[in-house]
Amino acid sequence: MNTGHGVDLPFADEAFFEVFMPYELRLAQRRAMTWGARPEDLLPPAFVGLYLIRADMSGNRPFPSDEDGGAEIRDHLVSLTRAGLRDSDVLGSAGGNELLAVVRDLDPHQSYVVAQRLLSACSRSELLLAVGINARVGYLVYPLTSQPNFPPGEWKTLVRLARAAGEKGAPTTNATGFGLLRGPTAATTNIPETDLVDLAFQDMDSLINSGLLSLQRIHLMAGI
């Protein structure tokens, strides 16, 4: 996946996401309905990826105030994230020390590459290493089924599910990532997508074990 390194992406706010996200989800749903039950390896690169990038202080220490360097750390995280995105993607604040990157026209088989690039940039950052920042990426690749019916206006629920995926497992380094996407049995199962999302909050592991969802764990690789 090519990225526009150095592209000065606009920084989206909540008002922008409230309009943009329902549109993107509806577009993804229409495409999925057109594809029908096409095998996973034949799916076109037209999914949408929701990537949450969070900066936490190691050792459960409080995040610095803006006056003590917190604003500089957030600005630096924005710069690192922008360098891993294309000019067609959207970056904005998800609140606190968390960013939301919306990756458009995404190939689900390449979704992990985006997270690897973002985490690799954080793991090499001298600033983040010096202050003891743990970077965590949680992402969700939508649609989750071949018959999607999730209400687009409830897009924040999908963002929370991406966050829940990212929180699986304790970080063992200064950069950790987990992603959630449709599983190999999703196309042959008639479970409504709204029920699938609800069940994922209750027992994500069971859905992964049954093949309805897939969980990707990001391993940092040299050169990415």
Per residue in 36-83, pLDDT (tens digit) is: 555 555 656 679 999 999 888 777 787 777 777 778 888 899 999 998
Residues 4, 109: Cα–Cα separation, whole Å: 20
First to last CA, the chain: 11
Residues 213, 98: Cα–Cα separation, whole Å: 25
Nearest of 42, 30, 24 to residue 92 by alpha carbon: 24
Compute the mean pLDDT over every residue in the chain, rounded to the nearest whole number. 84
Give me the half-sphere count of Cα atoms (radius 13 Å) on the Cβ side of residue 59.
Answer: 3
Region 147-157: mean pLDDT is 94
Q: Which of 49-63, 123-137, 165-179, 201-215 is predicted least confidently?
A: 165-179
Q: Is the peptide bond before 151 cis (omega within 30 degrees of 0)?
A: no
Residues 136, 162: Cα–Cα separation, whole Å: 11
Give the C-alpha distances (Å, rounded to integers) separating 173 from 2, 42, 124: 26, 35, 12
The string of pLDDT tens digits covering residues 129-145 is 888 888 889 999 999 98
- Which 8-state DSSP code applies to residue 130? H
11-217 has which fold?
Answer: Alpha-Beta Plaits (3.30.70)
Q: So what's the pLDDT on residue 53? A: 93
